[in-house]
Amino acid sequence: MTTIRKAVFPVAGLGTRFLPATKAVAKEMLAIVDKPLIQYAAEEAEKAGIDTLIFVVGRTKNSIIDHFDKAYELETELAIRNKDALLQIVKDTVPEGVNCVFIRQSEALGLGHAVLCAEAAVGNEPFAVILPDDLIDNEGDNCMQQMVAVYDKHQGSVIGTQTVDMSESDKYGMVAGPKVEDRVAMVDEIIEKPEPAEAPSDQAVVGRYILTPAIFDVLKTTERGAGGEIQLTDGIAALRKTEEIFSYSFEGTRYDCGSKIGYLQATVEFALKHDELADEFGNYLRQLEV
């Protein structure tokens, strides 16, 4: 049995970089080819053995709740029309044995605050946090599967990281600490959005975490930080004072789908791998290059 049973998906941000698309629809409902970002994230968690999906939703909550709800009318219509493959795709949105919980973050006070909103649903056990707009693609074990293995071995919070250009440090939480083994290091320092001159290393936090429940007490006293928001990074920095925390440089390609360029890159790459589209889309792109 896996040690990590629950995943929190903080999806209550305002998604301002995608307005007006995100006026009424959550950013995480934007599709990469034919699947919304939130579903890629849910499938990553399910593959890692997680059976409780906790969505912290905001003002565009309906689209997310509806996506993970049973769609009786649609399923009936598809059955009547003998569209069996499509019916299965719709039913597979929430596989058997997986539970969904929805919690409202009434004000977008920051990622740290969104995670704190999930306290009652998580309870006193370690849990995953997945930011769906960081889409991570890997041929082997997915990012969360890799991180669960690191948690099982080291029994401490694990933060997913990636090397970035130092000039971009002010877009990320940045971490530093001594190496423990291949891809794993201790977190000695963690700072939210430092200027390049203040960044402790070129290792950036991306949207995957496994956290011990001690984070909740810490977040309750975490003050507003960068951007006037309650930052998860600041909570982790405080947790670091009482617990060992590990960083893990995951295997895989990450697309920042919270930005337009990252979203477009993911769309092109996923389309070029898509069963139905790869050939046609590849031909189309080649013809554009001429």
Q: Does residue 45 belong to the site contacting ligand UTP (CB under 6 A)?
A: no
Query: Closest distance between ligand UTP and the C-beta of residue 249, in Å?
Result: 20
Instruction: For residue 16, state whether it binds ligand UTP (rule: CB under 6 A).
Output: yes
Which position among 4, 8, 15, 146 is part of the footprint of ligand UTP (CB under 6 A)? 15
> Of the ranges 14-22, 43-51, 143-151, 236-244, which one interacts with ligand UTP (CB under 6 A)?
14-22
CB 228 to ligand UTP: min, Å: 11
Token readout for 149 is 């293995």
- Mask of contacts with ligand UTP, 144-183, x by CB under 6 A? ----------------------------------------
In the window 96-115, what residues touch ligand UTP (CB under 6 A)?
105, 108-111, 113-114
Indicate the residue among 6 and 113 with the shorter CB distance to ligand UTP. 113
Q: Binding of ligand UTP at residue 133 (CB under 6 A)?
A: yes
Q: Which residue blocks in the chain are alpha helix, DSSP H? A: 37-47, 61-67, 72-80, 84-91, 111-117, 119-122, 143-154, 214-220, 232-239, 260-271, 278-289
14: contact with ligand UTP by CB under 6 A? yes
User: What are the b/e assignments for 27-60, b being 16+ CB within 10 Å?
Assistant: bbbbebbeebbbbbbbebbbebebebbbbbbbeb
DSSP state of 24: T
21 near ligand UTP, rule: CB under 6 A: no
- CA distances from residue 39 to 249, 254, 265 in whole angstroms, order as listed: 23, 16, 18
272: contact with ligand UTP by CB under 6 A: no
Nearest to 252, CA basis, from 148, 119, 104, 134: 134
Structure tokens at 225: 């930080």
Task: Rule CB under 6 A: say whether 11 interacts with ligand UTP.
Answer: yes
Minimum Å gap between C-beta 117 and ligand UTP is 8
Q: Which of 258, 266, 271, 281: binder of ligand UTP (CB under 6 A)?
A: 258
Q: How far apart are the first and last CA of the chain?
A: 54
Judge contact between 118 and 130, C-beta under 8 A: no
Give the footprint of ligand UTP on this chain (CB under 6 A).
10-17, 27, 56, 105, 108-111, 113-114, 131, 133, 258
